[in-house]
Structure 1
Amino acid sequence: MKGVVLAGGLGTRLYPLTYATNKHLLPVYDQPMIYYPIRTLVRAGIDEIIVVTGGPHAGHFLPVLRDGKHLGVRHLEYTYQPSEGGIAEALGLCEEFADGDDVCVILGDNTTDADIRPEVESFTGGALIFLARVPDPERFGCPVFDPDDPTRILKIEEKPAHPKSPYAVTGLYIYDARVFDYIRELRPSERGELEITDVNNRYLAAGELRWVELRGFWSDAGTFESLHRANRYWAEKCGWRDPEAARRWAEEGLDATRDTDTVESTNVQA
C-alpha cells in the first residue's frame, strides 16, 4: 500500500497566516503540520508517499520535507495541483504513483494519535473510511445512518446545513485501485469541485464501503479554532502536562478526543 498526503489549497480560513506560507507548513506544537499525517502513515507501515500541493507556496515543502528520510519515509514524491478542483481531483493526480496499488489517503491538515496499522494490514479491497464524533459535523462530509441499523450508512452528505449525525468523515481513507476509475467518472459539484464524498458514495452504492470510528485524538487544523485545538492537545501530550491531563483538557472542547488510541467497530456495507 502507498500513501497520499493531500496538501493543496490556499488555506483562506487561516488568512493572514497563509499569505506567508502553505497552511500545511504552519506549526502544530513543535512540528510543521504536515509532519503529523506523514507520521500517521509511517507508523502504519507505509513508507512510499506522495505529497500533492498547490498554490503560490508549493515550493516551500521541499526544504521542509526534503527526501522524507528524517520522517521514516523510504520514497517521497511530489506533485502539483494547478487548480482548486477538490480533494478527488487532487487524488486523481496520484494514479501513476499508485501504479495499481491500494492507497491510504490523508489530508495534510489532519492530526491524530490513532493507530491505523491494523486497518492497513487487513485491507482487502473496496473503500474504508474513518469517522470521528465532532461538535461541528456541518464542516465535513457527514454520514446518514439507517435508523433501523445504526451500523449501516445510507449515504454521505457533503457539508450539510443540518447534519443527520454527529459524525464527520475524517480526512483519512483507504481505497483500492478502482478509485481512479471512479474519479474519472465524476462531474464537478455545485462548488465546482470533484468531491471525495461522491467517490465514497460510489463505493457505498456498490456495497463496498466499510467504516471504523477513530478512538484516538483527531482534529483537522484548517480553522483558527481547530488549529488552536490541535496545538493545545499536542503540546500537552508531548510534555507540557501529563498525557491524561492533555486528553482531559482536549475533551472539554472536542468530542472527537476519545479515551483510547485505537480504532473501533469495523462495519461492512452489504
Structure 2
Amino acid sequence: MEVKSREVKGVVLGGGRGTRLAPLTERTSKQLLPIGDKPMVSRVIGQLSRAGIRDILLLIDQRHASQYLDTLRDGSDLGVQSLSYVWQNPDGKGLPTAINQVRNHVGDSKIVVACGDVLFDDSLEKPVEYFLNKQLGAHAIGAFMRDSAGYSPLVTHGNHITEILDKDKNRHTPAIVDIGTYMYPPDVFNKIDQLKPSERGETEIWELNKKYAAKGTYTYSQINGWWIDAGSSLSLYEEANDHYS
C-alpha cells in the first residue's frame, strides 16, 4: 500500500517507568530491552513501516534519551523515512496527555498510535488502509481473549465499538479487547483538551475513545494469531523473547 506522509504519521509511545519489568529497567527504558535480536521498540516501528507508515514520532523522556539516540539514530535502519523524537513528561500523566505532545508535529495528518511494548504477528496494512479511507472517527486494533481479566472489553456491533467496559481483574470472560494500537483523525487533540484527570491523576485512554464510541464513529479491526503485552510482566517479556528466538 502506498501511503503519503501527509496522510498519516506513526506515534510510538516510548516513555513510562517500566516498573513491572524491574530490575531490567533500572538503567534503561523497557522499550529498549531486547526481544530476540532487536530492541522491543524497533519491532513496533518496523510493524508500522511495513504497513506503509514511514514518518514516525517517538515519544521519549530525558531519563533514557541518549540511549534511544544511540540505538535508533535516524531510523533509516528500520525502513522509515523520518524518525523524530518528541519529549514526554517523565512523571506520566496518562496516554492521552502523552499523545497530545505530538499535536504541533502532525498538522492535519491522521495518526496511528502504538504502544512501544505491545507486539503481534499480524499485519497492520489492511487496518491502516481502512482507517485512511474512513471519513469520520477513530479506529482501534482488537484481539480476542478467552480470559479478559484486567483488560477493557469492547462491546461491538459489526465492526463498530459501541461501548468500552472498565477493567476488572475478577471478570474472567471471553471478549474482544483493545491491545494498545489506536488510529485517530486530527480532531483527537480537541477531544483530549476536553478530558479531565481521573482519580489517579491521569487522563485515561478509554475516556478518550468513549467519545468516538458515543458518536458511533469508533471502529476496529481484529488481529489474528500471536500477540503479547511484553511490558506488563517479566514472564510475558520472557515469552516474547522465546517467540522471537
Q: Give 1:89 shift.
A: 0.8
Report the TM-score, using the length of structure 1 for normalisation: 0.81
Distance 2:170 2:62 in 1: 32
Task: Find the counterpart in structure 2 of residue 167 from structure 1.
Answer: 176
Counting only pairs closer than 5 Å after superposition, residues 236-255 of structure 1 correspond to structure 2 as none
Which secondary structure does the structure 1 equivalent of 2:149 belong to?
helix
Distance 2:47 2:194 in 1: 30
The farther-off stretch of 95-104 and 47-56 is: 47-56
Q: Could you list the runs of 5+ residues in structure 2 that have no partner in the other structure?
A: 1-7
Query: What amino acid maps onto 2:241 in structure 1?
Result: N
Please, which of 120, 130, 134 is the counterpart of residue 145 of structure 2? 134
Query: What amino acid maps onto 1:27 in structure 2?
Result: P
- Summarize deviations over 1:88-122 as a string: whole Å, max 9, x none: 11111011111111101100001112111122123
Contact 2:120–2:228, Cα closer than 8 Å, also in 1: yes
Contact 1:142–1:169, Cα closer than 8 Å, also in 2: yes
Query: What amino acid maps onto 2:240 in structure 1?
Result: A
The farther-off stretch of 115-124 and 22-31 is: 115-124
1:114 aligns with 2:122: yes
Distance 1:18 1:142 in 2: 29
Query: What amino acid maps onto 1:131 in structure 2?
Result: G
Aligned identity (percent) is 37
The farther-off stretch of 71-80 and 163-172 is: 163-172
The farther-off stretch of 4-13 and 131-140 is: 131-140
Which secondary structure does the structure 1 equivalent of 2:92 belong to?
coil
Counting only pairs closer than 5 Å after superposition, residues 115-264 of structure 1 correspond to structure 2 as 115-123=123-131, 124=134, 125-134=136-145, 137-145=148-156, 153-163=161-171, 165-222=174-231, 223-235=233-245
Which secondary structure does the structure 2 equivalent of 1:173 belong to?
strand
Which secondary structure does the structure 2 equivalent of 1:18 belong to?
coil
In structure 2, the CA distance between the partners of 1:98 and 1:216, relative to structure 1 (3 Å rule), is: farther
Work out the number of aligned pairs and report it.
Answer: 232
Q: Give 1:16 shift.
A: 0.8
Contact 1:182–1:199, Cα closer than 8 Å, also in 2: yes
Which secondary structure does the structure 2 equivalent of 1:19 belong to?
coil
Distance 2:151 2:60 in 1: 21
Report the TM-score, using the length of structure 2 for normalisation: 0.88
Q: Give 1:134 shift.
A: 3.1
- Summarize deviations over 1:131-172 as a string: whole Å, max 9, x none: 112355333332235xxx576544213422344643321111
More RCO (CA 8 Å, sep 6+):
2
Counting only pairs closer than 5 Å after superposition, residues 4-15 of structure 1 correspond to structure 2 as 4-15=11-22
Distance 1:16 1:208 in 2: 42
Task: Find the counterpart in structure 1 of residue 3 from structure 2.
Answer: none
Task: Find the counterpart in structure 2 of residue 68 from structure 1.
Answer: 75
Distance 1:55 1:190 in 2: 27
In structure 2, the CA distance between the partners of 1:20 and 1:143, relative to structure 1 (3 Å rule), is: same
Please, which of 94, 102, 110 is the counterpart of residue 94 of structure 1? 102
Query: What amino acid maps onto 1:45 in structure 2?
Result: G
RMSD of aligned residue pairs (Cα, Å): 1.8
Q: Could you list the runs of 5+ residues in structure 1 that have no partner in the other structure?
A: 236-270
Task: Find the counterpart in structure 1 of residue 4 from structure 2.
Answer: none
Q: Give 1:25 shift.
A: 0.4
Which secondary structure does the structure 2 equivalent of 1:67 belong to?
coil
